[in-house]
Chains A and B, each alone.
Chain A
């Protein structure tokens, strides 16, 4: 069993829709949770990070962590074509190494 599971998609939604991206994990030692966005043929860029259960909001993006269920989510409100990218979840136990999900490929259709 992989430590981090992420549905690879692809996911295609119309512009303006609310998007929900999810990851599950098996190791309860993970303390920090991150979401990266990766445009085609580019390096990933950090979108958000959180270390506690609950919600964290940044503009149109909301990161949600449920440690009891070992489940994290990223919500995108009012999705735009520029949000089309691959979204990678990542998590760490706090020291040096990140474990990444497979990435979900998202397309926002105008």
Chain B
């Protein structure tokens, strides 16, 4: 069966510091991968998605970036965090070319920028 991991689970960072969140998927090959942010009491905002190694599409202009160095690894980064980057970050995967487009989520990383 497929599993998705995210770490760290919780992170407290000062404004201006760098960020690196990691997501890995097990039990599947060539997945679509996604990064979402969920602000408190809000829905999910799609940040990035990837259909393959090195292929990243950005949905929202911001100071975040994403990379996919391996098939089942997705990384969310920032060079300098802003207060507004605080939130719950979720990684998700789906079957490449699958329909319907059902996505499966990881446990999330709670980020607090102070």
- A residues with CB within 8 A of B: 6, 8, 31-32, 34, 36, 41-46, 49, 51, 88, 92, 94-98, 100-103, 105
Instruction: Contacts A42-B108, A43-B106, A43-B107 given; indicate if A96 touches B43 (C-beta within 8 A).
Output: no
Q: Determine if B75 is an interface residue (Cβ-Cβ < 8 Å).
A: no
Q: Which chain B residues (88-104) contact chain A, with CB distance < 8 Å? A: 88, 90, 92, 94, 99-104
**Smallest distance from the beta carbon of B101 to chain A beta carbons, Å?**
4
Instruction: Contacts A42-B108, A44-B105 given; indicate if A8 touches B41 (C-beta within 8 A).
Output: yes
**Smallest distance from the beta carbon of B79 to chain A beta carbons, Å?**
26
Q: Judging by beta carbons under 8 Å apart, are A43 and B44 in contact?
A: no
Q: Determine if B53 is an interface residue (Cβ-Cβ < 8 Å).
A: no
Bound form: Cα–Cα A34–B44 in Å: 14
- Cross-chain pair count, CB within 8 angstroms: 58
Q: For B103, give its contact among A6, A98, A103 (CB under 8 Å).
A: A98
Instruction: Contacts A32-B101, A44-B90, A88-B44 given; indicate if A96 touches B108 (C-beta within 8 A).
Output: no
Bound form: Cα–Cα A45–B90 in Å: 12
**Smallest distance from the beta carbon of B86 to chain A beta carbons, Å?**
15
Kindly list chain A residues whose C-beta atoms are within 8 Å of the C-beta of B32. Answer: 96
With CB as the reference atom, state the residue of chain B lying closest to A31: B100
